[in-house]
Structure 1
Amino acid sequence: MRCPDAFREVDVERPQIPERVDRPPWSRRAGSVLTSLAALIATTVISGPAAAADPGGPCVLERGDVHHSEGLDTWNTGYPRPTRALNAVMIFLSFPDAEPYATPDELVSDHFPGTSDFFRRASYGQFDLRVHPMRRWISMPEESTSYAIQRDWDPAHRTAYLRDAVAAADPAVDFARYDIVYLVADPDAPGIDADATKVVNFDQPLHADGTPLRRLVTVFENHPPDLHVLAHETGHVFDLPDLYRRPTDGGDDWDTRVGDWDLMGSQFGLAPDPFGWHKWKLGWLRGRQVTCLRAPGRTLHSLEPIGAPAPRGAPGADLRTRLVVIRTGPAEVVAIEARGAFGNDAGICAEGVLVYRVRSDIASGDGPIEVLDAHPGSEACHGESVYPKLADAPLGVGEALDIDPGGLRVQVRDRTADGAWSVRITGDKEP
């Protein structure tokens, strides 16, 4: 099977020169408006029609049946794809048992323009998230304590909350104008649990103003809120999974899979810029920026750091290689990218070449991505990193990582004057 022309497929050694791509626990006319709220669910959503996401090839994992699958052969059109400007409304909800201390304007500034700026940098300027705040409080009919708000929310109470919120806002909001809806609760109301912020998906969409509402972002953050919390939740709106693996033993060690890398693992990470795999999935990297290896053999690649900005004026025309992908199984690839102190990763702990596995058959919250640690015997950035064992995971110049099973070896040969990383990949085993 051959990669299409949009991919760089490599079978022999030769240099490739750039040509100048649901929520962690620590993060804190009404009758005609609503339809079948009893069908609400928090962790699954009916699959929408599929649309081609990028040209096919052996490195493009098929989208699986699991929630927020990491497959990217098709795009689930039930989710908005952030390759254009999207409009979001912020609705501020107050309750009879509390007088808000913060103003809507103050709560807007908690999240914007920071969230829009994060996505602008991550997308190389290709995605514009435009927020439209209501700038006044909408009164909920019941006291905040009556909704029993918490992280693992009882479906009946959650349904009541969403029913009341949409009905209360409908006279003042034209939902047809917006791609994303943020429901922001008064952070000082007594029934608010800051750990309950999440995206709620619908088995069958609600309808308001003739518009299907497939998911709502429920925000219960403190003021000021957790870092990057709205960017993380908005990532779910774009079909990105939680990258942590939720402990089943009641423990609090959620960060062992990806550590600081990608805000879908932890919004507090020192390197929250999305993985190159996610940028490819969302449409911010094109196939021509991704090198696909069928059988590595011995190849040499020049990798532009994933967070480095695109050439001025033409983000969509950037031809520099940002990601190398090797198919290693029916639902698995190994991905290789360079990370540096650029943009969203300005606070990175260790620069270098990052290697990770991606599985399209593992659901959100079960660890679909695993960072491979190039320095398993060391830790870094204690007191800052969310998981110091992976904070220094990238390879530096002169270092190598052997990947088993599979017989792959990734070695960093050099770093060029313009900041690109020269990487040799060897392996004799067919994927």
Structure 2
Amino acid sequence: MPRQQTPGGVDRRMRSAAASLTSLTALAAMSLVAGPAAADNSAGPCALTRTAAHHSLGVDTWNRAYPKPERRLNAVMVFLSFPDARPKTTPEELTADYFPVTSDFFERASYGRFKLVPHPQKEWVQMPKTSTEYGIQRDWDPDDRAAYLRDAVVTADRSVDFSAYDIVYFVADPDAPGVDSDATKVVNFDRPIRADGTELRRIVTVFEQHPPDRNVLAHETGHVFDLPDLYHRPTDGKGDWDTYVGDWDVMGSQFGMAPDLFAWHKWKLGWLTTDQVDCVQSGTSLHTLQPLAEAVPRGGTGGTRLAVVRTGPGSAIAVEARGSAGNDGDTCTEGVLVYRVRNEAASGGGPIEVLDAHPDTEACWDRSVYPPLADAPLEVGETYTVPGERITIEVADRTQSGAYTVKITT
């Protein structure tokens, strides 16, 4: 729990934060040195190794530079105002934009294994410069971004003990004239900064409108847990962004109809264990896959949620079932989803690619972020051969409980 503060501690923290931030010159939203590894006992022969790629999807070790969401984590929300605007909303109203919906998302996704606890500050803290002076935008000038974060940390340190929290959210006044909602992102520090005797390695900067995009904070918080962007950003900024995974994971789109995290992500985060992941060897095998978003029964194991076929040193084919439950409650299609995983592909570079079992059709054109992939899952009675691989996946049956019987031939 957050510790109580004393006046003397406030002065000391301000001096500490200010001293650390004087060297804050190199900030990068998309780069962070690979941290030390922690062995993952759930890794098996189908587990890809973690590489130096940003947010690598290797699952054999954990990057300890990131907090692992296997326990209760405390998150502070600091609300930043500016001299050129009087806030039209209150911290309480903005807190309600993000919580409990974000905590609920992760509690469902983790099958109750992780609890994200917000600690919103009750008052606005005013930044020393106007909102327009910081040049806030999606592709932010590094010096302007550094100035914003430097001022935010020093200003917030008057009332916040950063050592009491695992995650930091800086929420800007959404109505200030210089605030751009496209600038919402996680900023990683090339070198951690120290405040209140603790190292700050990354900060979630929130510039959303009120109300914000759906699931936007779940997406950004996923980066805090070393999950990659799964969308495709066109080089000219135009065209479809959702060609890699469509609606099928919040790290692809916060607007997705079925935004639960892929089973591979849950394996990486420790929410799926060895007995819930089938490692497929050569030959033909049968697998009973429980729909990914269904809750784990009290006292139960949750059943198998992922089947994996290793296709090379840095690649694998993943097979999971998706149904209309939990975080996937708004999906318009159900079935067995097949996707490719690459451990050397960096965030935004296609580390996961959904394979479309129905490439000549699309679905849910009125709701989907990318209709061509909305009907990607296999239905009962259908067979799919993975392009370029000797892997055939057949959905043989669906049990009364909703699980899928899948035959995989390699």
Q: Is TM (by shorter chain) over 0.5?
A: yes
Query: Higher RCO, 1 or 2 (CA under 8 Å, sep at least 6)?
Result: 1
Whether the 8 Å CA contact 2:42–2:273 is kept in 1: the answer is no
State the match for 2:396 in structure 1.
413
Instruction: State how many pairs are aligned.
Output: 395
State the match for 1:359 in structure 2.
342
**Do structure 1's residue 251 and structure 2's residue 238 form an aligned pair?**
yes
Alignment of 1:22-421 (within 5 A): 29=11, 30-34=14-18, 35=20, 36-295=23-282, 297-312=283-298, 314=299, 318=301, 320-421=303-404
RMSD: 1.0
Matched residues in 2 for 1:271 and 1:80: separation? 25
1:210–1:294 CA distance, 2 compared to 1 (3 A): same
Whether the 8 Å CA contact 1:58–1:294 is kept in 2: the answer is no
Whether the 8 Å CA contact 2:26–2:142 is kept in 1: the answer is no
Give 1:415 shift.
0.3
Give 1:249 shift.
3.4
* Partner-residue secondary structure (3-state), 1:120: helix
Whether the 8 Å CA contact 1:288–1:319 is kept in 2: the answer is no
* Partner-residue secondary structure (3-state), 2:25: helix
1:217-246, CA deviations, whole angstroms, 9 ceiling, x for partnerless residues?
000000000000000000000000000121
Give 1:31 shift.
4.2
* Partner-residue secondary structure (3-state), 1:78: coil
Matched residues in 2 for 1:179 and 1:350: separation? 37
**More displaced stretch, 242-251 vs 135-144:** 242-251
Matched residues in 2 for 1:83 and 1:416: separation? 31
**More displaced stretch, 32-41 vs 329-338:** 32-41
1:90–1:387 CA distance, 2 compared to 1 (3 A): same
User: Which sections of structure 2, spanning at least 5 residues, go unmatched?
Assistant: 1-10
Matched residues in 1 for 2:408 and 2:238: separation? 38
Matched residues in 2 for 1:90 and 1:57: separation? 38
User: Partner letter of residue 353 of structure 2?
Assistant: E
Whether the 8 Å CA contact 2:85–2:177 is kept in 1: the answer is yes
Matched residues in 2 for 1:269 and 1:298: separation? 34
User: Partner letter of residue 350 of structure 1?
Assistant: T
* Partner-residue secondary structure (3-state), 1:38: coil
Matched residues in 1 for 2:235 and 2:132: separation? 28
Matched residues in 1 for 2:41 and 2:221: separation? 22
User: Partner letter of residue 329 of structure 2?
Assistant: A
Whether the 8 Å CA contact 1:255–1:266 is kept in 2: the answer is yes
Percent of aligned positions that are identical: 64
1:390-430, CA deviations, whole angstroms, 9 ceiling, x for partnerless residues?
00100000001111212111000010011110000112xxx
**More displaced stretch, 251-260 vs 94-103:** 251-260
Q: TM-score, normalised by structure 2?
A: 0.95
Whether the 8 Å CA contact 2:263–2:306 is kept in 1: the answer is yes
User: Partner letter of residue 207 of structure 2?
Assistant: F
* Partner-residue secondary structure (3-state), 2:285: strand
Give 1:256 shift.
0.4
Matched residues in 1 for 2:150 and 2:73: separation? 24
Give 1:319 shift.
5.2
User: Partner letter of residue 136 of structure 1?
Assistant: E
Whether the 8 Å CA contact 1:66–1:361 is kept in 2: the answer is yes
1:138-195, CA deviations, whole angstroms, 9 ceiling, x for partnerless residues?
0100000000000000000000000000000001001111000000000000000000
State the match for 1:4 in structure 2.
none
Whether the 8 Å CA contact 2:276–2:302 is kept in 1: the answer is yes
User: Partner letter of residue 383 of structure 2?
Assistant: A
Matched residues in 1 for 2:350 and 2:297: separation? 34
1:87-120, CA deviations, whole angstroms, 9 ceiling, x for partnerless residues?
0000000000000000000000000000000000
1:60-108, CA deviations, whole angstroms, 9 ceiling, x for partnerless residues?
1011111000111100000000000000000000000000000000000
**More displaced stretch, 196-205 vs 29-38:** 29-38
